[in-house]
Amino acid sequence: MSRIKVIAGNWKMNKTASEATEFVNQLKANVKGAAAEVVVGVPFVCIPGVKKAVEGSNIKVAAQNMHFEEKGAFTGEVSGPMLADLGVEYVIIGHSERRQYFAETNETVNKKAHAAFKYGIIPIICVGESLAERENGVTADLVRYQVKTALLGLTEEQVKKTVIAYEPIWAIGTGKTATNEQANEVCAIIRNTVKELYGSNVSEAIRIQYGGSVNAATAKDLFSMSDIDGGLVGGASLKTEDFGKIVKYDA
């Protein structure tokens, strides 16, 4: 099965609303005609302006998080209906920074995945291990558990649409990158886990990204690996030229 690569930029807590709109207006020319699906994960306050700016282009918009409840006394949170009303197509769920700093758990990731689908938003679910966990040889078991818990209760059709991003925590923002073989090995573990749960049709359809200091120099070789279907890009997605080169890695 031929899977369309999906390359998403995770801007994290960067760019004001006006800066984001200006950036996307510049980015459109750099990614026009790309074979890969292009997504920008922007801060909540930037979503309205960015959605308007990407109209007529091949850029889709992701939120960086969401709450699993529809509404309620959750000060500072943003719900699925709020994102859906703005036309958001994707939402990043369970990023390691959310897990580390904001008490995100495998269980809340699962709740958010269900909520995303309820409101027509595709989740990009992040999984990955720390350096200590890799050195202790528990990467495979840990990632399998994260995937199984995240997907619990989702239907086959929902899982086919889901994007899973493998992000080794030790390679995020450190300049370190897993070797192509290391990255592909874990992405294959993720795909095999999905196969065990849902069968080969679903496992061949689901797209699995690699994230962790992806840049213009490493993208082509990473994305040519058998089980890597694009990337979740951090710092390099904040530069129009660099992100354009990553998106058009095969040009």
Active site residues: 95, 167
> Residue 75: which residues within 8 A CB-CB, separation 6 or more?
none
Structural contact between residues 60 and 90, judged by C-beta atoms closer than 8 angstroms? yes
Distance CA 80, CA 53 (A): 22
Distance CA 17, CA 26 (A): 15
Closest CA to 94 of 120, 61, 116: 116
Closest CA to 247 of 223, 225, 226: 223
Distance CA 224, CA 196 (A): 24
Residue 72 Ramachandran class (φ > 0 left, ψ -120 to 50 alpha, else beta): left
Q: At what angle do helices 180-198 and 139-151 cross, to 10 degrees?
A: 40
